């Protein structure tokens, strides 16, 4: 166990022990080790420094490192909890944990609220929803009249903004999600359940044996 940690702490700044990470998340030790294989691949794709930069994140997600966009930026920021401009292995595992099929529903609702609260004011404002809607329309190259966009926003806010103060607070969001559960679909990655088969890792067998005994 000591051998693993010290070697990887040198090459991977901020690296945490898989046993500790497993205890904080829905992942088993083997699954954390499998995630490490993925992390290694992504974090070395542009600069081999053991950390995932914004560029490397974009490359991994969109196969295109130049492709910046509103949503990817927001997700990167939520992964980068320490606001260092890079994602370390611990950040990576804890963030992906929220997307695990077994992660608590409240964590997913929480994450999605923060995701849509673009300026982190603690509220999802109408202007932010408009911005995201326009980003989506650009992405799909769908043209909608300004008036139509306003109607969609009106309808959304009538539905979600219960106290009609022009913004959606955390409680209103929780309520809204419970009435529209399909909104949480983006918060689960079913493949995370099979991660040890898609990401075999042979390096850390000793780690697993020690736990088993």
Partner 1 sequence: MKKRTRRINPWYYEPHVDEILEDGWFRIDYEPAEAITNEKASLEDVYQAFHRIGTRKIQSPRFVNAFQLIAMSNHLDLSGLLEEQKTKLGSRHPMTETIEKIEVAAKDASLSVERTNSSKVKLHAPQKLTRSISQNTVSAEVIEVTPTHCMIEVSRSSSTGEIRSYKEFCRSLSSILK
Per-residue contact flags (x/-) with partner 1 for residues 142 to 181, judged by CB under 8 A: -----xx--xxxxxx-xxx---------------x---x-
Per-residue contact flags (x/-) with partner 1 for residues 99 to 138, judged by CB under 8 A: x---------------xx------------x--xx-xxx-
Q: Does 1 bind partner 1 (CB under 8 A)?
A: no
- E strands, 101-204, are 124-125, 167-168
Q: What are the structure tokens assigned to 210, written together?
A: 């020690």
- Pick from 20, 23, 24, 69 the residue near partner 1 by CB under 8 A: 69
Residue 65 to residues 54, 59, 61, 136: CA-CA distances in angstroms?
8, 4, 9, 20
Q: Does 198 bind partner 1 (CB under 8 A)?
A: yes
What does the alpha-carbon distance between residue 96 and residue 106 come to, in Å, rounded to a whole number? 15
Q: Does 81 bind partner 1 (CB under 8 A)?
A: no
Per-residue contact flags (x/-) with partner 1 for residues 28 to 57, judged by CB under 8 A: ---------xx--xx-xxx-----------
Decide: 49 and 43 in contact? Cβ < 8 Å.
yes
- E strands, the chain, are 52-53, 86-87, 124-125, 167-168
């Amino acid at each position: 166990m000591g051998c693993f940690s010290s070697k990887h702490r040198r090459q991977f700044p901020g690296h945490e022990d898989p046993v500790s990470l497993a205890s904080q998340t829905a992942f088993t030790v083997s699954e954390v080790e499998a995630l490490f294989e993925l992390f290694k691949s992504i974090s070395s794709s542009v600069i081999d420094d053991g950390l995932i930069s914004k560029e490397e994140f974009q490359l991994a997600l969109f196969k295109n490192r130049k492709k910046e966009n509103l949503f990817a930026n927001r997700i990167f920021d939520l992964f980068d909890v320490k606001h260092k401009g890079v994602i370390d292995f611990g950040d990576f595992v804890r963030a992906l944990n929220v997307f695990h099929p077994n992660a608590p529903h409240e964590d997913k609702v929480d994450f999605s609220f923060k995701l849509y609260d673009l300026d982190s004011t603690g509220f999802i404002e109408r202007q932010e929803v408009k911005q995201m809607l326009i980003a989506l329309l650009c992405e799909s190259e769908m043209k909608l009249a300004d008036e139509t966009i306003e109607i969609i926003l009106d309808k959304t806010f009538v539905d979600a903004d219960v106290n009609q103060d022009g913004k959606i607070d955390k409680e209103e969001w929780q309520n809204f999600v419970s009435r529209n559960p399909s909104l949480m679909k983006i918060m689960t990655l079913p493949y995370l359940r099979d991660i040890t088969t898609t990401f075999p890792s042979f390096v850390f067998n000793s780690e697993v044996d020690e736990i088993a005994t």
